[in-house]
Chains A and B, each alone.
Chain A
Amino acid sequence: MSTPFYVSPQQAMADRAEYARKGIARGRSLVVLQYTDGIVFVGENPSRALHKFSEIYDRIGFAAAGKYNEYENLRIGGVRYADLRGYTYDRDDVTARGLANVYAQTLGTIFSSAGEKPYEVELVVAEVGSEPEGDQIYRLPHDGSIVDEHGSVAVGGNAEQISSYLDQRHRDGMSLAEALKLAVQALSRDTNGTEREIPAERLEVAVLDRTRPQQRKFKRIVGRQLSRLLEADDAAVAKTDEPSDEAPEE
């Protein structure tokens, strides 16, 4: 019997991370932004049936970049976890923090187990609070770590470039139309800096809207509502550019 080659643990982990990162980078990026009434998810997705964003529970949404079958698996696991929690205790006892911990454990175990290939996914778990201060956004990279994010977050292929673009331009208290416009601008910048047009049909947009009267705050924005928001953009931006609490322009 031949002796297996010795591979140092550092090298093994680096290889696995490299593998997962490459897998994630093949997928399209998506962004999650806070706006004044909640959290908006924006991504480029040519498919209308296979979603990148979905509802987990009343106030919790899920976004994923990477391999579809793997994140779909995690998504269903999350829905089960949340529904079981909510049924056993109370609807208020289901939190994004708890869910993010479960995902981190799962991803971390898979990443470091030698038998399995690491998952090529990067997740975002977001929870909308009753006030903007209560919003929570967690980013979960492939290795099972958790990053607590504020304001804006991007995951997927071009994530670093997009998130630095967003960091510079995102501010608190944006309207939905403003946040959406910023997200689309960020997504349409290519790696080499050129811009390309993303038509509305290729956008997948969903919100966690704290002003929704229903208990379940997650809502997909599609069709006419989406194009109206994209078009109304300029008008809305112009309007919100002169808020009453700031110095009135004479």
Chain B
Amino acid sequence: MDFLADHSPELLPGNRKLPEGIVEAPHGTTIVAATFPGGVVLAGDRRATMGNMIAQRDIEKVFPADEYSAVGIAGTAGLAVEMVKLFQLELEHFEKVEGATLSLEGKANRLSTMIRGNLGMAMQGLAVVPLFAGWDEGREKGRIFSYDVTGGRSEEHGFAATGSGSIFARGSMKKLYRADLSEEQATTLVVQALYDAADDDSATGGPDLARGIFPIVTVITDEGFRRLTDEESSALARSVTERRLEQPDGPRAALL
């Protein structure tokens, strides 16, 4: 990073002049994550919006950061994708130069600094608010970190969501989450949460059966990062949608 700053400063996001006025650009929406014993899942819907228009139906917003972590992005898509690219580069560069990977905390802190660097843009309405999840090799568990626009970092226990549909997704997961979920249950949980977010938030896209566009679901365990194949995520989304035909509001939690 320091090398990049010295050598080609124009490649770094922080060194650009801020645009005047409000810029209309595609925004990504909802990202959810949940931990389970043995790992963590991170998932995102596929919609990008620009004002009241759907800018893209099949955007991908969840990326592997390295072999044991992933980042999901909400906010201005262009800036967010660039931030992820730079983040991936930095983790890989560190690993190659030092011969060891950064600790999960180290990665989370680094992302924090990058978000803070974007604060000027965020004030212009071009915010980037990611969710970072990874497998902590030291502690042997999956962990989730959420961020605010100023780069403030906080560790989330159990589950977390970010983006415009996050309120609904969080409410959904609050009622469905249990600490002893299996990997398969955890992936179902995040798809349920995304369904609920899409149900109530116009900027979040639900499973699109007609076009075959389904949420991106990723799982990180001690074996590393894995993205569910299109078949797996389509089967998952289909089974959730099927159940919703009978029960449109989704599974019920116990009253007491």
Contact = CB atoms under 8 A, between A and B. Distances in A.
Interface stretch (A79-87, A147-155, A188-196): A79-87
A87 B99 contact: no
Interface of B: 3-4, 7-8, 11, 67, 85-86, 89, 92-93, 96-97, 99
A120 interface: no
A87 B97 contact: no
Contacts, number: 30
Contacts of B96: 54-56, 79, 83
Interface of A: 49, 51, 54-56, 76, 79-80, 83-84, 86-88, 214, 216
A54 B93 CA distance: 12
B95 to A, nearest CB: 9
A80 B89 CA distance: 11
Contacts of A87: 4, 11, 85-86, 89
A214 B4 CA distance: 26
Given A51-B99, A76-B97, A79-B97, A84 B8 contact: yes
26 contacts: A49-B99, A51-B99, A54-B96, A54-B99, A55-B96, A76-B97, A79-B93, A79-B96, A80-B3, A80-B93, A83-B89, A83-B92, A83-B93, A84-B3, A84-B4, A84-B7, A84-B8, A86-B89, A87-B4, A87-B11, A87-B85, A87-B86, A88-B8, A88-B11, A214-B67, A216-B92
Contacts of B97: 76, 79
Nearest to B3: A80
A74 to B, nearest CB: 13
A235 to B, nearest CB: 28
Contacts of A54: 96, 99
Contacts of A55: 96
A76 B92 CA distance: 13
Contacts of A80: 3, 93
Contacts of A76: 97
Nearest to A87: B89
A53 to B, nearest CB: 11
Nearest to B92: A83
Nearest to B4: A84
B225 to A, nearest CB: 10
Nearest to B225: A214
A12 to B, nearest CB: 34
Contacts of A79: 93, 96-97
A49 B8 CA distance: 32
Given A80-B3, A88-B11, 9 more contacts: A51-B99, A54-B96, A76-B97, A79-B97, A80-B93, A83-B92, A83-B96, A87-B85, A87-B86
A49 B100 CA distance: 10
B16 to A, nearest CB: 15
Central interface residue in B8, B85, B86, B96, by most chain A CB within 10 Å: B96
A55 to B, nearest CB: 6
Contacts of B7: 84
